[in-house]
Amino acid sequence: MLAPKRMAASAPAQLLAGFFRMPEPERSGSAGEWPLGNGLATALLAETPGKDTPVLRDVTLRQCA
Amino acid sequence: MTVAGHAVRIRIGNCFGTEPLVLSGARVVWPAGSDKGRAPQMLLFNGSKTVSISPGAALVSDPVDCAVTAGMDLSVALYITGLPATLTAHPGARATSFIAPGNTLDDSKAAGAPQICTRWYFLCGVDVLSHSATALAILGDSITDGYGCSPDSYSRWVDGFARRLQTNPATADVAVLNLGIGGNRRAGAESPEAGRA
């Protein structure tokens, strides 16, 4: 029987770990007051600007969440 | 937003940047139906309008009281003055974002048509304060991320699942967090654009 292949931590697992351990400013409310009742979360990736990337310096970016 | 609550804060991330991300202002426009109507409100970070987010870091805004319900949309505007070379983005957001030159946080200063894209940049999430809510974090690939869904249609299977939870009083306080990444695989080869595996 083959030994199971050892797998590296998955990206979603890393993302989740990061999500729940994000640094929080001291005056942004105590962490204990904010349970897992989050309205929205999104997985983020690294993007190296290319031809399809909008110029984001000195702009106002409006996003809907 | 997928859950009701009485205060909101915004998460902004410079997770992949190697230089600071500098915001010289941020504002939300509350959703119609909230207790603040569609009023705009400036966001603060530790009491400051300007914030520099270090490479690899993410910050939350100071919380703002506002009663919201599940299914409401929140508009988040960021005036970006310092930009890292590598951006922190969600390319499969399937939500329309608007980009205007200069500081147009005050709508009266907007001139001309903004550039449009269907990605999210730097926006990690929206936290809704609720004393009774729990959350489901859903992992997956493009099927979960929303491949094939039109922008702003909220027709991902995760969206439908969240709406279904809302219809049942027993699960109406369950937030649904879509952490899907198109192309991502839990193990094995993957494209660099699809996240680390």
Q: Which amino acid is at B193?
A: E
Contact: B125, A14; criterion CB under 8 Å: no
Strands B120-121 and B87-90: antiparallel
Q: Which two tokens stand for residue B140?
A: 């997956």
For chain B, say whether A46 makes contact (Cβ under 8 Å).
yes
The residues with which B42 forms a beta bridge, in sequence order, are B27
Could you read off the pLDDT of B19-72 as tens digits, one per residue? Answer: 999 999 999 998 888 888 888 999 999 899 999 999 988 888 998 999 999 988
Residue entry with tokens 């969206």: B159
Give the gap in angstroms from C-alpha B31 to the nearest C-alpha of chain A: 10
Nearest chain B residue to A21 by CA distance is B58
Give the gap in angstroms from C-alpha B166 to the nearest C-alpha of chain A: 13
Nearest chain B residue to A25 by CA distance is B46
CB-closest option in B80, B85, B126 to A59:
B80
B100 by DSSP, 3-state: which? strand
Distance CA B132, CA A35 (A): 8
Give the gap in angstroms from C-alpha B184 to the nearest C-alpha of chain A: 8
Residue entry with tokens 């804060």: B9
In chain B, what percentage of residues exceed pLDDT 90?
Answer: 48
User: What pLDDT is recorded for position A9?
Assistant: 45
ipTM (interface predicted TM)? 0.90
Distance CA B177, CA A52 (A): 27
Nearest chain B residue to A47 by CA distance is B87
Distance CA A37, CA B182 (A): 25
Please enumerate in sequence order all residues whose Cβ is within 8 A of that of B151, keeping only pairs 6 or more positions apart, or say none.
B94, B95, B96, B118
